[in-house]
Amino acid sequence: MTYCVAIKVNDGLVFAADTRTAAGVDDVRTYNKLHVLEVPGDRVFVILSAGNLATTQYVLAYARREMNDPNVAVSLRTVRHMFDAADYLGQLSVRAQRQALSDSHASSVNVETTLILGGQIKGEDPAIYLIYPLGNCIASSPEMPFLQIGEIKYGKPILDRFVRMPVKLEDAARCALVSLDSTMRSNISVGPPIDIAILPSDTLAISHSLRLDFDTPYYAQVRETWARQLENAVRALPKFDWEVQQSLNLQPNPNYAPMQQQSPMSGNSTQQQSAWNGNDQSDDNNPPYPR
């Protein structure tokens, strides 16, 4: 019941997530799945989460606590590389799952959580990592500059077609928003409000943070424009062969002119014109032209 996406382009990083955690007929609940942790002027991290909510809260709580504890040897404040930060969160996740599974009554409960970590440490390039429940992780690449977790299939086509490293940061953010909108349209377990965060390269700070709901004017405008442009795009696709032929058959013949102007018969008599137009009133034994 989640969809989160992180995009890396040359200008920086974009993060987007829904907030729905339950979507029953009479039980719709929301929870923030986009979390920002930062040391101003030195590093900034954004964590997206999908999976067991208790495990997610454990990871976030310990990450914040140890980040603010100067006596902790390894924390998000002390790691030197983004990969080390991803590995650190992965180990916290594994530890939380082991503690939950140590209770025999929890053996049938799925306590796994999947995370996306993105951000920048001073002196390094921005990066995004997908952290699996086992604690291992993978990074984005120029060939695949985005990472997704949760209900990924509905919002992936637009990302595959559009997102490239040279794309502008704001265009990447709009693409992420459309990706979420497409997912919400096809899957009721993903729902608003939507959280979006934009991290320009080398600023070490979130430049824009938005929460959008269905009635937010900007989001309503994006949804309407996207739907209208999709309809126009479908109508503009090349026609099938039979449609082209039908269209040609319905077009008026540019060489056509009234028969009286093109009649090969000499003279202007009413009888000749009537005969040529098939309106001859004489009997069949005396036709005005050969049959």
pLDDT tens-digit series, residues 54-87: 999 999 999 999 999 999 999 999 999 999 999 9
> Exposure pattern of 55-65 as b/e (b: 16+ CB <10 Å)?
bbebbbebbee
pLDDT band at 100 (very low <50, low <70, confident <90, very high): confident
CB 9 within 8 A of CB 170: no
Q: What whole-number distance in Å separates Cα of residue 114 and Cα of residue 235? A: 40
Q: What is the pLDDT of residue 283?
A: 45
pLDDT of residue 162: 95
Mean pLDDT, all residues of the chain: 87
pLDDT at 182: 95
pLDDT at res. 272: 46
| Per-residue confidence (pLDDT) for residue 189, from 0 to 100 | 87
**Burial profile 76-100: b = 16 or more Cβ within 10 angstroms, e = fewer:** bbebeebeebbbbbbebbbebbeeb
Look at residue 247 in the predicted model and tell me its pLDDT.
84
Residue 280 pLDDT: 45
At 217, phi and psi to the nearest 5? -55, -45
Helix, strand, or coil (residue 132): coil
pLDDT at 195: 97
Looking at residue 115, what is its pLDDT? 98
Decide if pLDDT at 104 tops 70: no
Q: What is the mean pLDDT of residues 7-20?
A: 96
Q: In this predicted model, what pLDDT tens digit does every residue of 111-168 receive, in sequence order?
A: 999 999 999 999 999 999 999 999 999 999 999 999 999 999 999 999 999 999 999 9
Residues 96 and 87 sit within 8 Å (Cβ to Cβ): no
What would the pLDDT profile of 187-229 be if each residue is shown by its tens digit?
A: 988 999 999 999 999 999 999 999 999 999 999 999 999 999 9
- pLDDT over threshold 50, residue 90: yes
Domain boundaries, the chain: 3-235, 241-276
For residues 281 and 288, what is the distance between their CA atoms, to the nearest angstrom?
A: 10
Q: What is the mean pLDDT of residues 87-116?
A: 87
Fold of the CATH domain 3-235? Glutamine Phosphoribosylpyrophosphate, subunit 1, domain 1 (3.60.20)
Q: pTM here?
A: 0.81
CB of 158 closer than 8 Å to CB of 182:
yes
Confidence class for position 109, pLDDT limits 50, 70, 90 = confident
Confidence at residue 79, expressed as pLDDT on a 0 to 100 scale: 97
pLDDT 10s digits, 228-260: 999 999 999 999 999 888 888 876 656 655 555
CA proximity to 116, closest of 182, 207, 35, 18: 35
Whole-angstrom Cα distance, residue 249 to residue 252? 8
